[in-house]
Amino acid sequence: MNVTRDFTGRARVHNPGLPPGQYDAGDDWPVLSAEVTPDLTAADWSFRVDGLVERPRAWDWDEARALPGSEYAGDIHCVTSWSKFGVRFGGVSLDAFLDVVRPLPTATHAVAYAHTGYTTNLPLADLTGGRAWIAFEYGGRPLPPEHGGPARLLVPHLYFWKSAKWIAGIRLLDHDEPGFWEQNGYHARGNPWREQRYAGD
């Protein structure tokens, strides 16, 4: 593409943590969700892991909070071009849940779904090995409802639409199955470093 006449961009320092096409949102944390924020309290919340697993099960709030805690401190990246540096989420590693249900060898992918009905698909490998969390806290405080509280999925190495708010469950599959935004033209995986924004990228 040609240079845009008279455009220089804001003063920039090279930030190796900024994926291509992204900008630093600073203190802002834009809210992006397509649906009405649900009235979902901790008492209403539950989280289920099933599909291709040995022992499907569901956790209520107290049961999930009783699992060993795990923090994520790092960056997040939204497909709408903002990135946010040095954020801190508190929760439970998804590995802790998967250790209980024991995925079958045939499980290759997952669909994460929210209490609103929102869905998003992920390769199982993106959810294991300490790369995904069920997050309950942000910056040491309960996760605000508009950001997915009381609990959201957190998969910070992928674009943030994969980190389903108001997470209700994860179903393990032997195939990939597009979720809500993926059916609306977004990329199946969404790796920010490869700029996998839309189908075809």
Partner 1 sequence: MTETSTPRTRFAVPGRIAVSNRAAARWQTATLTEIRRETPRAASFRFAVPAWAGHLPGQHLMLRLTAPDGYTAQRHYSISSAPDDSGHLELTLDHVDGGEVSGWFHTRARPGDEVAVRGPLSGFFAWPGDRPALLVGAGSGVVPLMSMVRLHRARGLTVPLRLLVSARSPEELIYAREYGAETLPVFTREAPPGVPVGRLAAAHLAPVLAERPAGGWEAYVCGSNAFAEHASRLLVAAGQPVDRIRIERFG
Hey, which residues between 109 and 148 contact partner 1 (CB under 8 A)?
Answer: 111, 113-119, 146
Out of 42, 67, 100, 173, the only residue in the binding site for partner 1 (CB under 8 A) is 173
* Integer CA distances (angstroms), 131 to 6, 28, 120, 125, 155, in order: 42, 24, 16, 9, 6
User: Interacting stretch for partner 1, rule CB under 8 A, among 65-73, 85-93, 148-156, 174-182?
Assistant: 174-182
Residues 6+ apart with CB under 8 A from 143: 89, 135, 136, 137, 149, 150, 151, 152
User: Residue 48: beta bridge partners?
Assistant: 58, 169
Asked if 171 is part of the footprint of partner 1 (rule: CB under 8 A), the reply reads yes
Out of 15, 17, 41, 81, the only residue in the binding site for partner 1 (CB under 8 A) is 81
Asked if 185 is part of the footprint of partner 1 (rule: CB under 8 A), the reply reads yes
Asked if 12 is part of the footprint of partner 1 (rule: CB under 8 A), the reply reads yes
Q: What is the largest CA-CA distance in the chain?
A: 61
* Chain length of the chain: 201
Place of tokens 């901790």: 42
Which residues of this protein are in contact with partner 1, per CB under 8 A? 1-10, 12, 21, 23, 28, 30-38, 48, 51, 78, 80-82, 111, 113-119, 146, 168-169, 171, 173, 177-181, 183-186, 197-201
